[in-house]
Structures are given as structure tokens and as C-alpha cells.
Amino acid sequence: MSNGSTPSPPRRLRGTLLVVVAAVVVVGLGGWLVWRSAGAGGEQPTAGGISGHGGGHSPAGEDGGHGSRGGEADKKHHDSLQGKVVVIDPGHNPHNNDHGREIARQVDIGNDRKECDTTGTATNDGYAEASFTLDVARRARTLLQKAGAKVVFTQDGDRPYGPCVDKRAALGNTAHADAALSIHADGSGAGNRGFHVILPARVTDGPADTAAIVAPSRRLGERLADRFHAVTGSARSNYIGHGTGLDVRSDLGGLNLSTVPKVFLECGNMRDPKDAAQLTDARWRQKAARGITEGITDFLAH
């Protein structure tokens, strides 16, 4: 008969219970360790802590490009333009608006006489072409210098106006540039989109003689158009060049008077809202600078 207390289990039964409890603990601990090593969700984390779904990406610079390649590859890239001279001509001048009489002065471009310089165009919101060209030129200068090039500017916003188009050409000639580029943006009608590269025509008149630079300038322009398109994603002009992104002209003093390979790059149409959205985007301008650098590098490497 019970006296109100729970009888103690036999010794053999207590031993069996202890073995069962120990087995449960071991199995549970092992399962927890497997779950932990799988990342608590069945996904193996990457080295950067980003889940391996394919949607993550490595950190990039402002231009959205890849990180540094490092080592010998990086050194080779940095030395690719060693000993080369590149002249960058940022189109117009932010101060030209204050010097209308000076920039209206006519200068000899060989087959004609034209204004010393112009004010350039602007977006509908007032972002000036002269500000755009300086920004892209400075970005390109940084990249070109990292590649080892000596970079000469025709103006850096440090002149009261200009210089005149004949002086711009002379600066490239005096520097004995391996390549020269004048950076611009167009001011055409809305709906006209894309970039184009202006190549020098054959002009032999007065102080102009482009016979020796027509062929190398075309090669420069072709390489520039290819890389600018690839890096920026911008389309070749839909209103100039018949889809090639190339246009030959004989009415630009900066080309007529050059004795070194030189082209003009119209990076887009400031009067078109879609193009203007790109031109006013600092990240896109960095891409433009990289496309310019790669185009010049491709030209000088071949």
C-alpha cells in the first residue's frame, strides 16, 4: 500500500534513462552545428558577406567600373601611355559670356575666317557646355596621367576667354602631341540623340595643311567612337554620320590648323532631354572620361 511518496526507479532503469538523454543531447548538438555551418538559411555566404544568389556585386568606383586589377596587370595598365603626350582641349570657356567682343574677333583657319571662339550651348536647365567640357576633361586628365601620359590642356578655366581656335591648334602642335582631342557637346533639336566624332577633312589652304593627319586622325576617331560607345552605353548619333558616329568637316580651325592627329568629340546633344540627363550626371561623365581614355590608349597602342 502507498504511503504518499513516489517510489525510486530501479538502478538498471536509471542507467538506461541517462544513456537515452545523452544520445538526444549529442544528436541535437550535431544538428545545430550543421544548421550553423549552412548559414542559417541554406546559403553559403560569399567572402564579402553577400549571399550567393547572383544579385550581389563587388564594390565599384564612381563610374561603376570594376575594382583595381592589382599586381602586374595594374602596373602594365598604368605604364601603357608612358612617354606619350596627349593634348586635351575643353571646348569653349566658362568666361566667354563676359567677353563677347574678344571672342567675336575673326581668325584665319586656312580656307576661311571664323570667330575666335563661341560661348557654346547649354541644357534647357542652364548647364553650360563649357562647364561640361571642363569637368569631363579634368576627369580624363586624371585617368590619362595614371596611365603614364603627359597631359596638356589648352585651357583650364584659368583664362579670361578662349583661347581662340587657331591658338588651340597651335598649342597641340607646339606640344608635339601624339594625340589631341577637343571635347564638346552639341546643341541640336530635341529628338536628335547620341555622340559623334568629328574628323579633319583634307585641307591645304593658307596656313592649313591636314594632308599628313587625315589618316591617323581617322584611326583616332574610330578607336574613340568604339570605346566611348562601349564604356558609356551611349548610341552613335542618329542625326549625323549615318549611324557611324563619324563626321568629316573642313570648317573647324582647331582641326584645319592642327599638325598632329586630332579629333573633336561631341559627347551628346544638350538640347535633348534624354541626352541632357546623361550629360548632367557625374557618374556618366566619369564613364565618358574612361571611354575617352580607353579610346586614346587603343589608338596610341597600335
Query: Can you give the pLDDT at residue 78?
Result: 66
Cell 543531447 belongs to residue: 25
C-alpha cell at 238: 542618329
Q: How far apart, in Å, are the Cα atoms of 188 and each of 6, 128, 268, 269, 277?
A: 99, 14, 9, 6, 15
Between CA 165 and CA 103 the distance in angstroms is 10
Over 60: is that where the pLDDT of 193 sits? Answer: yes
In a domain, 196, yes or no: yes
Determine the average pLDDT of the residues in 113-135.
Answer: 98
Strands (E), the chain: 85-90, 106-108, 113-115, 150-153, 179-186, 196-200, 204-205, 208-209, 246-249, 262-269
Query: Can you give the pLDDT at residue 205?
Result: 97
In a domain, 194, yes or no: yes
In a domain, 31, yes or no: no
**For the segment 131-179, what is each residue's pLDDT rounded down to a tens digit?**
999 999 999 999 999 999 999 999 999 999 999 999 999 999 999 999 9
Write out the residue range of the structural domain in which residue 137 sits: 74-300
Average pLDDT, the chain: 83
C-alpha cell at 125: 536647365
Report the alpha-carbon angle 62-119-101, nearest 5. Answer: 150
In a domain, 38, yes or no: no
Query: Can you give the pLDDT at residue 79?
Result: 79
Mean pLDDT is lowest, of 44-53, 61-70, 206-215, 228-237, for 44-53
Handedness of CA 259, 260, 261, 264 (dihedral sign): negative
Over 90: is that where the pLDDT of 60 sits? Answer: no
**Number of domains present in the structure of the chain:** 1
Query: Can you give the pLDDT at residue 70?
Result: 39
Over 70: is that where the pLDDT of 107 sits? Answer: yes
Query: Can you give the pLDDT at residue 77?
Result: 54
φ/ψ of residue 204, rounded to 5: -130, 90
Query: Can you give the pLDDT at residue 26?
Result: 44
| Structure confidence at residue 129 as a pLDDT band (50, 70, 90) | very high
Query: Can you give the pLDDT at residue 302?
Result: 80
Query: Can you give the pLDDT at residue 1?
Result: 42
In a domain, 102, yes or no: yes
**For the segment 236-252, what is each residue's pLDDT rounded down to a tens digit?**
999 999 999 999 999 99
**For the segment 63-73, what is each residue's pLDDT rounded down to a tens digit?**
433 333 334 43
Determine the average pLDDT of the residues in 176-184.
Answer: 98
In a domain, 46, yes or no: no
Between CA 198 and CA 251 the distance in angstroms is 11
C-alpha cell at 63: 563610374
Over 50: is that where the pLDDT of 59 sits? Answer: no
CATH number of the structural domain spanning residue 223:
3.40.630.40
In a domain, 40, yes or no: no
> Are the CB atoms for 211 and 259 separated by under 8 Å?
no
In a domain, 36, yes or no: no
Q: Dihedral angle at the C-alpha atoms of 33, 37, 41, 47, nearest 10 degrees?
A: 160
Tell which wins on pLDDT, 16 or 272. Answer: 272
